Amino acid sequence: MGPAITDYVRFLADARDAVYRLNCDQNTAAQLADEEEHQEQELETANRAVADAVNQTVKKRLDEINSSYDKEIAKGQERLKKARAKREKAKNKGMKERIAEETSELREHNRELKLQMKTLFQKERVPGFCNSTYYYALYDPRGVKEFMLFFMTILVCFLAVPCGIYFLLLQQRQMWYLAAVYFLDVLLFGGLYVLVGNKTRLRYQDALKRGRAIRNTLRANRKKIRVITHTIQKDGNEDIYDLEKYDDEIACVEQELSEITTRKKDALNTFESVTKNIISDEIVASHKSHLDDLKQALEDTSLALRNLENSIKEQNIRITDTFGPYLGKEFLEPDRLSELSRIIQSGTASNITEAITVYNETKQA
């Protein structure tokens, strides 16, 4: 409790001035707090913009390095692909020439056999269709191919044709229809088979047998050719194809690719450890002045706010200690303090307590 009050009007005026100054400072503090928050956001946005600029520039430079080296690597890979293709082409050409050379006698023998067979059939006046694989497959099959042709013909003529007629062409289906279709089918194809056989096999028996022997020799020669071809294709010895110049070219391109890859790795390591930091420092330095201004403004605002908050705290303590015991918290408002002062000045009350009583009675009335 302070000293006794001798001038109530003066006391209330001092209280009103103190409360008014406190309210003004509190409003100013609120404005400073809003300004501080705005400046913090502005500084954060500026820092984020600088960080984004650093990241974007670093990414752009890194992409440029990767793109530049990747283009060179792609060119090298394309050259390597072409070099390998040329080598493979030269190897295939050499293999073909080797196959042609090692099978030339067999192929020439086959040409002679075919000519011999053609001459034989012409001399004996054998029909041209008899000098065909299909004819021999039907009447004197040898080997897997001719037996397959024979069985396929049997299946088509005596299974596919009658079943197709019975199930696809006939509207009504009865067993005797199927039996009739099979009878006609056997009569047609079987009769045709026997007729052609009787007309050719008996009449040109000697020529057909000699043709069979020639065909067997042709088949044996073709088998030998396939064996020789397969052996050459599987032969791992490539020295005979004279591929050294292609191997040298491939080795040269592979060496270039290896060097480019190593240089790319070194460039990326240098960028990560040195260049990236330099870029970051340069960008940050170019924005330093602006960032420093924002930081200084924020520091000034924060300092002013802290000082004002300390002042508000001291004012609150002073008002509470000096005026609070006499007026109470509810009357520490400028308007109410002015009203209490008016009541005392009008003579309605002689002290603060009476003025408060009159004020409350007036409000309740």
Contact (CB, 8 A) for 207 and 120? yes
Predicted pLDDT of residue 225 = 93
Q: If you average pLDDT over residues 269-273, what whole number do you get?
A: 92
Q: Do 238 and 256 fall into the same domain?
A: no
Q: Is residue 57 part of a domain?
A: yes
Percent of the residues in the chain that have a pLDDT greater than 90, as a whole number:
47
Q: Which of 197, 213, 242 is a domain's end point?
A: 242
Q: If you average pLDDT over residues 63-86, what whole number do you get?
A: 93
- For 38, the token pair is 């705005």
Q: Which of 178, 211, 242 is a domain's end point?
A: 242
Predicted pLDDT of residue 69 = 93
Predicted pLDDT of residue 325 = 85
R_g over Cα of the chain: 57
Q: If you average pLDDT over residues 142-153, what whole number do you get?
A: 89
Domain that holds residue 154: 102-242
Q: Do 232 and 342 fall into the same domain?
A: no
Cα separation of 80 and 177, whole Å?
70
Predicted pLDDT of residue 365 = 62
Number of domains the chain contains: 2
Lowest mean pLDDT among 8-22, 230-244, 309-323: 230-244
Of 146, 131, 295, 284, whose CA–CA distance to 204 is shortest? Answer: 131
Q: Do 200 and 311 fall into the same domain?
A: no
Q: Do 24 and 110 fall into the same domain?
A: no
Q: Is residue 122 part of a domain?
A: yes
pLDDT band for position 2 (50/70/90)? low
69 or 201, greater pLDDT: 69
Q: Is residue 45 part of a domain?
A: yes
Q: If you average pLDDT over residues 83-94, what whole number do you get?
A: 91
Q: Do 231 and 259 fall into the same domain?
A: no
pLDDT band for position 200 (50/70/90)? confident
* C-alpha distances in Å from residue 88, one per residue of 100, 226, 257, 325: 18, 21, 20, 107
Torsion sign (Cα): 214, 218, 224, 225: positive
Predicted pLDDT of residue 83 = 93
pLDDT band for position 111 (50/70/90)? very high
Q: Which of 195, 212, 242 is a domain's end point?
A: 242
Q: Do 56 and 147 fall into the same domain?
A: no
Q: If you average pLDDT over residues 155-178, what whole number do you get?
A: 79
Residue with tokens 């006939």: 170
**How high is the mean pLDDT of the chain?**
89
Predicted pLDDT of residue 162 = 82
Q: Is residue 97 part of a domain?
A: no
166 or 33, greater pLDDT: 33
Cα separation of 129 and 173, whole Å?
38
In the 8-state DSSP scheme, what is residue 204?
Answer: T
Report which listed range, 34-43, 138-147, 234-243, is most confident.
Answer: 34-43
Lowest mean pLDDT among 91-100, 132-141, 168-177, 195-204: 168-177
Q: If you average pLDDT over residues 54-77, what whole number do you get?
A: 93
Please, where are the H alpha helices in the chain?
Answer: 8-102, 104-123, 133-139, 143-155, 161-164, 175-185, 191-200, 205-234, 244-270, 276-286, 288-322, 324-327, 334-345, 352-364
Q: If you average pLDDT over residues 108-114, what whole number do you get?
A: 92
